[in-house]
Amino acid sequence: MINMSKEATRMPMQDPVVRKQNFDEAALGYTEDMAIREAMRCLRCRKHPCQTDGCPVHNNIPEFIAKVSEGEFDEAYRILRETTSLPAVCGRVCPQYLQCEGKCVRAKTGRPVAIGALERFVADYHRENAGNDIEKENTDNGKKVAVIGSGPAGIACAGDLLDLDYRVTVFEKEKVLGGVLAYGIPEFRLPKDILEKEIEGLYAKGVKAETEKALGRDFSVDDLLDSLGFDAVFIANGAGRAVRLGIPGQEADGVVSASDFLEKINLEKKLPEAKNIAIVGGGNVAMDACRCAARIPGAEKVMIIYRRSEKEMPADPKELKEAADEGVEVMYLTAPVAVEIKDNRAAGLKCVKMQLSDPDESGRRKPVAIPDSEFTVEADLIIEAIGSGSDNDSVKGVDSDLKGYFTADPETGMTSRPGVFAGGDTVTGPKTVISAMGAGKRAAKAIDRYLLSV
């Protein structure tokens, strides 16, 4: 029986006043009854665009949801695991509104089926009731593969290669495995124990890990293939170089990148002291940063500075609402022009009001400064969240494009160098978790084919 309600089943949340005081997960997840009720909203349409057009790895969404509607949660998990390595992660942090849910037929006359919430429920149910799936270490086929980076692309590739009986060593520049999942996403969106469970699965399969080892700094591709004896390499070191504001005063104390700000909170559990906090940017990283800033003891005002209107804002609307519920203010059509400094520290952010031009040939409206509209907002902490780029300047022997991203075949991940593959943000620039994971899984298959042929 189909549930014809136009409204999705609302997921329980911590009260905003309460959750603003902690870093516990804000969304509390579905109960079994809620999951079944929401799964019954799926129309099981013939073309299932949620899967074919919306999901980068083509999860079998209609089938797993059908199993949830029947209360067959373990079978739903089995179906998901055929295509995704990280359902508990993707169910929490993927922008479903742009992907699977954005293509859901139910969205034409109401709210889409809450596919992400159902994926999260299935993964959590399995973790809480089935325990560890790994019974023994895999056998050894005698071939060694190096995986550089332990974010979603690296985890997915390493896991699939271990299943194919390769010896896999993961090299990670930080102290812990997980990449951006560990240092870039706050615990109120992705609890660390969820990620740790995925990492435990890799160790149970027999992965080896070398932490605090960065490509180009501590080793080269030549080292891996020659002196260290690896048969193939997969590069998944992300896009970790923060984009700066490019305005006077940006070098002052109190001006930090969102990546550094989030890393100190996630890995070092350090919250800075600040009263007035400005976050420049309008994407999901800006949302993570502003919501962390709202949790700083003593913070009096947290504001987002965004140069376009809400309509153009790329952040997940759900995240924007949750930030607003936590007291974050948004200043639209506003751009920073200089950091005001007092006693060598940031004291304010000089801004200018913007207006949008007529649409260009692509339909995009460019923000244009309004003359004589400058004003200043108080800010003793300014967080740059306007993007990130390649950090591969020191990497030799693999072709890259003008922006520094490695060039690789989109289907296989093969680079200009035989035996060297690359995928995820280090090739495409910043994208979603599931896009990077898909690249890792495709690369694992390609590496297997390559090593069987040489």
What does the domain layout of the chain look like in residue ranges?
Answer: 16-130, 144-240+390-453, 242-387
Q: For residue 168, what are the β-bridge partners?
A: 145
Residue 362 confidence (pLDDT): 81
Residue 137 confidence (pLDDT): 56
**Residue 133: pLDDT band with limits 50, 70, 90:** low
> Tell me: the pLDDT tens digits for 390-415?
988 888 889 999 999 999 999 999 99
Residue 90 confidence (pLDDT): 95
- In the predicted structure, residue 223 carries a pLDDT above the cut 60: yes
Residue 138 confidence (pLDDT): 64
Domain 144-240+390-453 class? alpha beta
Average pLDDT taken over every residue of the chain: 94
| Sole residue written with tokens 């560990």 | 182
**Residue 428: pLDDT band with limits 50, 70, 90:** very high
> Tell me: the pLDDT tens digits for 5-36?
999 999 999 999 999 999 999 999 999 999 99
DSSP string, 23-90: -S-SB----HHHHHHHHTT----SS-HHHHTT-TT---HHHHHHHHHTT-HHHHHHHHHTT-S-HHHH
Residue 131 confidence (pLDDT): 60
Topology match between the domains 144-240+390-453 and 242-387: yes
Token couple for 440: 């890792």
| Sole residue written with tokens 């160790």 | 203
> Tell me: the pLDDT tens digits for 238-266?
998 999 999 999 999 999 999 999 999 99
> Tell me: the pLDDT tens digits for 322-341?
999 999 999 999 999 999 99
Mean per-residue pLDDT for 338-358?
96
Q: Domain 242-387: give its CATH architecture.
A: 3-Layer(bba) Sandwich (3.50)
**Residue 134: pLDDT band with limits 50, 70, 90:** low
**Residue 144: pLDDT band with limits 50, 70, 90:** very high
CATH code of 16-130, in short, is: 1.10.1060.10
| Residue 231: closest CA among 447, 10, 12, 33 | 447
- The C-alpha atoms of residue 210 and residue 233 are separated, in whole angstroms, by 14
